[in-house]
Amino acid sequence: MCFGTCPEFTLTVNKDRKAVFTAIKYNWDRQTHSKEFKGTYNTILKNDSFEEIVQLLNYINFPVLKDHYAVDWTDDQTCTLTVTYNNGKVKTIEDYGLIGTYGLNKLYNLLSRLRFNQDWK
């Protein structure tokens, strides 16, 4: 559990590139820190962003990854990643500390950056 200012949000990305970003708290624009996103936003992801996520998921072979990862310290973020693939198979990974594997860490960074590099409405 994070006791500080860890961003809290949900992000849903569908295979048609439609995405929903729900900003709960601490979702500050890292470039300017002048705007905190709160509320629910929708967009269609840029094609290159979507393809980068899909390619990385395939590269890291997410179905064979563990279901749980955790660092051995306290006061850090938790990510729950759920991927639906192959006509309804579901893989959920819970990662306390967000560094379960190098590939997952890269994926979390890509997903986190989507909050600020897409045209949310």
Question: Residue 70: what residue type?
Answer: A
Residue 33 has a pLDDT of 65
Torsion of CA 32, 33, 39, 45, to 10 degrees: 40
Residue 27 has a pLDDT of 92
Residue 32 has a pLDDT of 67
* pTM of the predicted model as reported, rounded to 2 decimal places: 0.91
Using the structure block, give the residue that is written with the tokens 């994070």.
Answer: 2
Q: Where are the domains of the chain?
A: 8-117
Q: Which long-range contacts (CB under 8 A, 24 or more apart) does 99-104 make?
A: 99/69, 99/71, 100/65, 100/66, 100/69, 101/60, 101/65, 101/69, 103/56, 103/59, 103/60, 104/60, 104/65, 104/69
Residue 50 has a pLDDT of 98
Q: Looking at 3-117, list the stretches that DSSP marks H as alpha helix, in order from N- to C-terminal side.
A: 47-60, 102-117
Per-residue pLDDT of the chain (121 residues; tens, 9 = 90+): 777 788 999 999 999 999 999 999 999 876 766 788 899 999 999 999 999 999 999 999 999 999 999 999 999 999 999 999 998 999 999 999 999 999 999 999 999 999 999 999 9
